[in-house]
Chains A and B, each alone.
Chain A
Amino acid sequence: MIKRRSILIPVIFLLPSVVFLLTFVYIPLFQNFYNSFFSFSVFSQTKTFVGMENFRIFFNDRVVPVALLNNFKYAVISVIFQVAFALVLAYILEDKIFRRVAPFFRVVYFMPVMISISVIALLFGFIYNPQMGLLNSFLELVGLGDWGKPWLGNATTAIYAVIAMSQWQSIGFIMMLFIVAIQKIPKDLYEAADIDGAGKIRKFFSVTVPQVKEAIFVNTLITVTGSMLVFNEPYILTNGGPGFSSMTMAVHMYQEGFVKDNMGYASTLAICIFLLSAILAIIQIRLSRTGKDD
């Protein structure tokens, strides 16, 4: 009797989360996989089975390589700025010299995280505006007027303009996670390093980086998988244009599904995005061997 109850209680506690996960994550995932073999429209309820046709379209779609490359650029630049640079920022802010002003700067860097992405995109729309934009005006002011460009309208600069906005917004969040991690490092490690005569840079590489390894891994995972899914920024700023030069996989999926009404193909794209981010996550977990340390 007692034994039976002891099994029942954890099951009851787990049940709500399992039900939620099933209805909102796993069932839609499988349904989506199923849908990717069909061709259908939101306007009608009939689905036509097309087999692997959607996957054939996927491999012949000229937008896909552009979108994947853009996602890749997003990932690389985000890892450099949001992970590497945010770690440096966090280290500087946690330094004794900045102790007094650190809380202020923490707020300053964290502020963009709390602003809605739509608002930020509108703001950057003004910054990048070719006629009265802040960026071009600033370049003109410092005598670099020739560098001025219609940033969002130029096929080469559009994606970088979009990525730059994301960095500005997200760096504060990752920095905050690193600050927490750095604060957890035992102080005696730094004291020992001081006694050994280590400088600030040496302490950063020999104490801070190894100690926050786990945080680095988590943050890289967040940014890399996040950059596979990036949607809001390109959607609001450029809608993937001009042409499809700043298209990302998620925007392409949305366009196919809700603008061009190819729900089946959009499901195929969704599956591919899922597989890609899953593979990336697995590779990272393997590489860093997390969870096996203890």
Chain B
Amino acid sequence: MKRLLAVVVMVLLLLSLFVACSSSGDSDVSNEASGGDRSSSSDSNDASSDEIVEINFNHRWPNEPRKSFYDQKIAEYMEANPNVKINVDAVLNDAYKEKIRVLISNENLPDIFTSWSDSFALNLVSSGRIMPLNDILAEDPEWSGNIMESQFAGFTFDDVTYGVPFTIDGKVFFYNKDIFAENNLEAPATYDEFIAVLDALQAAGYENPLVEGLQNTWAISHYMGTIFQRIIDPAVLEVDYQDGYGEFTDPGYLRGLEVFQELATYMGDLSTAITHEDARNMFGNGEIPIVYMQFAEIKLVEDIGGVDFGFFNFPAFADGKGDPNALTGAPEGWMLSKNAPPEAIDFLKFLTSAETAFEFTKVDGQLNAIIGAVTEENTSPARMEAYEIILNASASAPWFDNAVNINVADVFMRGGQSLATGQMTPEEIIKDAQEQAARLSKE
């Protein structure tokens, strides 16, 4: 009986294997056949269209709605170009940073992939494995002219452009309008007003009026970046942020850390145990009045529903030397590997075309650098307001973790956690940062 059962199971397994093999074989054949047909009918590029070109495509959104959006775009592109096969791989944020770092250390860099701007991009470029795009951009002005000129800066090093910006962003405080109205509060313009608002909210029963997911160290870096930009003389920052030249001796850094420490007291114990996503969800559910968020998150908050929210930029410091109206936020875009086939360039143009971008705004909600892709027609009033803020910002400041060397950034990011848990003092963190900077300048 047992033996019979075993035989039946084996036969079933073998059969299913056989069926699977043969069906996949079939689809291969039909694919090739259709590719062949097309080449003979269109009579162009006989040689190349006969063979399938594979493009490796990496992005960092395994989460919805963007994953489905790109999956759909890939399918559309492959349908229009049967000779191209796109292999996609998606890994989230921090893991993506690490993955790209590992991939770039050998020849396995994907043909087309997403990248942050500034120092993250510069690091990739320094490997010598990224394709310069100046000629490609110049050759097709119809496509490249449609991309906001200002957003290329973070991808351009020594006048060579290595990336095409796509999404644009800005970081501001989101506040719950209803809670503010109930307590007769107004969006603060200065840091002192901000502290007064936080105190008032605490008095009104909101134990943690400002919450952040400090488990995500990048969220800390966003705070630090903006605080330093507001407080410290831009000329000092420019020197300190340059890899290998930084000293971090300006007293403004200490003041900045003290500001963060003060803000962390309003965030409570809870903050070091949650992620930024948790903080956003708490805001979306009306549990907390204020969270420091990116415009990219507007749709996510809207989707939770039920909260009427507004924005205010990081308040100005009375003694601040930086531009109080600058907006922290940098574009993300696409890069090509040096060895990418011409089809990957074509796919890049497809991804950053006006049509794709228009649909992207509608489906995903994030604002982007393609001119005419964000209109009242395909976005919400809140996002339209955000778009105006980005376009009208007096200056834009890059994300701190992309602006400075990661060794220094890490001192401040982990230091932020230690400040919140009371494990370190601002002075100790500054000392660590100066040591790291000194080590980097020696190299």
A241 on interface, CB distance cutoff 8 Å: yes
B98 on interface, CB distance cutoff 8 Å: yes
Would you call A242 and B126 a contact (CB within 8 A)?
A: no
Q: Which chain A residues (116-158) contact chain B, with CB distance < 8 Å?
A: 128-131, 149-155
Given contacts A130-B270, A131-B278, contact A243 B104 (CB under 8 A): no
A262 on interface, CB distance cutoff 8 Å: yes
Would you call A129 and B273 a contact (CB within 8 A)?
A: yes
Would you call A243 and B101 a contact (CB within 8 A)?
A: no
Across the two chains, which residue of chain A brings its CB closest to B421? A155
Would you call A43 and B214 a contact (CB within 8 A)?
A: no
B271 cross-chain contacts in A, Cβ below 8 A: 153
Interface 9-mer from B31-39, B388-396, B412-420? B412-420
A248 on interface, CB distance cutoff 8 Å: no
Given contacts A42-B101, A241-B217, contact A260 B274 (CB under 8 A): no
Would you call B126 and A154 a contact (CB within 8 A)?
A: no
Would you call A242 and B423 a contact (CB within 8 A)?
A: yes
Q: Which of B98, B105, B417, B422 contacts A259, CB < 8 Å?
A: B98
Would you call B424 and A243 a contact (CB within 8 A)?
A: yes
Query: How far is A227 from B406 in the complex, measured between Cα atoms in Å?
Result: 28
Across the two chains, which residue of chain B brings its CB closest to A237? B215
**Residue interface bits A200-244, CB-to-B below 8 A is 1, else 0:** 000000000000000000000000000000000000001111111
Query: How far is A6 from B217 in the complex, measured between Cα atoms in Å?
Result: 62
Would you call B273 and A152 a contact (CB within 8 A)?
A: yes
Q: Which of A152, A240, A242 contacts B420, CB < 8 Å?
A: A242
A43 cross-chain contacts in B, Cβ below 8 A: 101, 104-105, 123-124, 126-127
**Residue interface bits A256-289, CB-to-B below 8 A is 1, else 0:** 0011111000000000000000000000000000
B128 cross-chain contacts in A, Cβ below 8 A: 44
Which range holds the interface residue count of chain A? 20 to 34
Would you call A151 and B410 a contact (CB within 8 A)?
A: no
Would you call B270 and A131 a contact (CB within 8 A)?
A: yes
For the residues of A in contact with B, the DSSP-based class is: loop
Q: Which of B217, B270, B417, B418 contacts A150, CB < 8 Å?
A: B270
B443 on interface, CB distance cutoff 8 Å: yes
Residue in A43, A128, A129, A262 with the greatest tally of chain B CB atoms within 10 Å: A43
Given contacts A48-B443, A130-B270, A153-B272, contact A243 B102 (CB under 8 A): no
Would you call B421 and A153 a contact (CB within 8 A)?
A: yes
B105 cross-chain contacts in A, Cβ below 8 A: 42-43
B186 on interface, CB distance cutoff 8 Å: no
A130 cross-chain contacts in B, Cβ below 8 A: 269-270, 273-274
B424 cross-chain contacts in A, Cβ below 8 A: 243
Q: Which of A44, A239, A259 contacts B406, CB < 8 Å?
A: A259
**Residue interface bits A19-62, CB-to-B below 8 A is 1, else 0:** 00000000000000000000100111000100000000100001
Please list the residues of chain B having a beta carbon within 8 angstroms of any beta carbon in chain A: 97-98, 101-102, 104-105, 123-124, 126-128, 214-215, 217, 269-274, 278, 282, 406-407, 410, 414-415, 417-418, 420-424, 432, 439, 443
A-B contact list, 25 entries, CB within 8 Å? A42-B101, A42-B104, A43-B101, A43-B126, A44-B127, A129-B274, A131-B270, A149-B269, A150-B269, A151-B273, A153-B271, A153-B273, A153-B274, A154-B269, A238-B215, A240-B414, A241-B215, A242-B418, A243-B415, A243-B421, A243-B423, A259-B98, A259-B406, A259-B410, A260-B410
Known: A42-B102, A153-B421. 19 other contacts (CB 8 A): A42-B104, A48-B443, A62-B432, A131-B270, A149-B269, A150-B269, A150-B272, A151-B273, A155-B272, A155-B422, A239-B215, A240-B414, A241-B215, A242-B214, A243-B421, A244-B414, A258-B102, A259-B98, A261-B407
Please list the residues of chain A having a beta carbon within 8 angstroms of any beta carbon in chain B: 39, 42-44, 48, 57, 62, 128-131, 149-155, 238-245, 255, 258-262
